[in-house]
Structure 1
Amino acid sequence: MIAHTWNPDDYRQHSSTQASWAHELIAKLDLSGNERVLDLGCGEGKVTAEIAARLSSGSVLGLDLSPDMIAFAREHLPPERCPNLRFVEGDMLDLPFDGEFDVVFSNAALHWVPDHGRVFSGIARALRPGGRVLLQMGGKGNAAPVLALADAMLEEEPWKDLFDGPVPRYAFYGPEEEREWLAEAGLTPVRVELIGKDMSFDKATDETSGARAPQVRGLDGLMGWIRTTWLLYLDRLPEEARPAFVAELANRYVERHPSPDGRIHVPMVRLEIEAVRPPG
Structure 2
Amino acid sequence: MPLICESLAAVPAGNSHGGSIITHAWNPKDYGQHSAAQQAWAHELIAKLALAGDERVLDLGCGEGKVTAEIAACLPSGSALGLDLSCDMIAFARERFPSEQYPNLRFIEGDMLDLPFDEEFDVVFSNAALHWVPDHGRVFSGIAHALRPGGRILLQMGGRGNAAPIMAIANEMLADDPWRKLFAGLAPSYAFYGPEEERELLEAAGLTPLRAELIGKDMAFDLPDGLAGWVRTIWHLYLKPLPEDLRPAFIEEVVSRYVERFPSADGRIHVPMVRLEVEAVRDPEP
Give TM-score scaled by structure 1 length.
0.93
Counterpart for residue 235 of structure 1: 240
* 1:200-252 deviation line (CA, Å, top 9, x unaligned): 112xxxxxxxxxxxxxxx11110111111111111111122111111110111
Pairing 1:52–2:72 present? yes
Choose 151-160 or 164-173, whichever is displaced more: 164-173
- Partner of 1:135, secondary structure, is strand
- Structure 1's unaligned 5+ residue stretches are 203-217
**C-alpha distance in structure 1 between counterparts of 2:22 and 2:34, whole Å:** 22
- Partner of 2:39, secondary structure, is helix
- Partner of 1:82, secondary structure, is coil
One-letter amino acid matched to 2:118: D
Q: Do the aligned residues in 2 keep the contact of 1:11 with 1:228 (CA within 8 Å)?
A: yes
Question: What does residue range 108-147 of structure 1 map to in structure 2 within 5 Å?
Answer: 108-147=128-167
**C-alpha distance in structure 2 between counterparts of 1:164 and 1:93, whole Å:** 29
2:27 alignment partner, one of 7, 22, 26? 7
Question: What does residue range 91-240 of structure 1 map to in structure 2 within 5 Å?
Answer: 91-163=111-183, 166-202=186-222, 218-240=223-245
**C-alpha distance in structure 1 between counterparts of 2:100 and 2:248, whole Å:** 39
Pairing 1:90–2:95 present? no
For these two proteins, the number of residue pairs brought into alignment is 265
Q: Do the aligned residues in 2 keep the contact of 1:39 with 1:48 (CA within 8 Å)?
A: yes
Question: What does residue range 34-53 of structure 1 map to in structure 2 within 5 Å?
Answer: 34-53=54-73
Q: Percent identity?
A: 75
**C-alpha distance in structure 2 between counterparts of 1:233 and 1:201, whole Å:** 21
- Partner of 1:28, secondary structure, is helix
One-letter amino acid matched to 2:146: A
**C-alpha distance in structure 1 between counterparts of 2:91 and 2:279, whole Å:** 30
Pairing 1:28–2:16 present? no
* 1:124-179 deviation line (CA, Å, top 9, x unaligned): 00000000100000000000001101111111111112337832100111100000
**C-alpha distance in structure 1 between counterparts of 2:203 and 2:194, whole Å:** 15
- Partner of 2:49, secondary structure, is coil
- Partner of 1:167, secondary structure, is coil
Counterpart for residue 212 of structure 1: none
1:273 alignment partner, one of 257, 269, 278? 278
Structure 1 residues 67 and 143: alpha-carbon distance in aligned structure 2, compared to 1, 3 A threshold: same
**C-alpha distance in structure 2 between counterparts of 1:109 and 1:220, whole Å:** 24
Choose 92-101 or 160-169, whichever is displaced more: 160-169
**C-alpha distance in structure 1 between counterparts of 2:206 and 2:93, whole Å:** 32
**RMSD over equivalenced CA pairs, Å:** 1.0
Q: Do the aligned residues in 2 keep the contact of 1:199 with 1:266 (CA within 8 Å)?
A: yes
- Structure 2's unaligned 5+ residue stretches are 1-20
Q: Do the aligned residues in 1 keep the contact of 2:57 with 2:123 (CA within 8 Å)?
A: yes
Give TM-score scaled by structure 2 length.
0.91
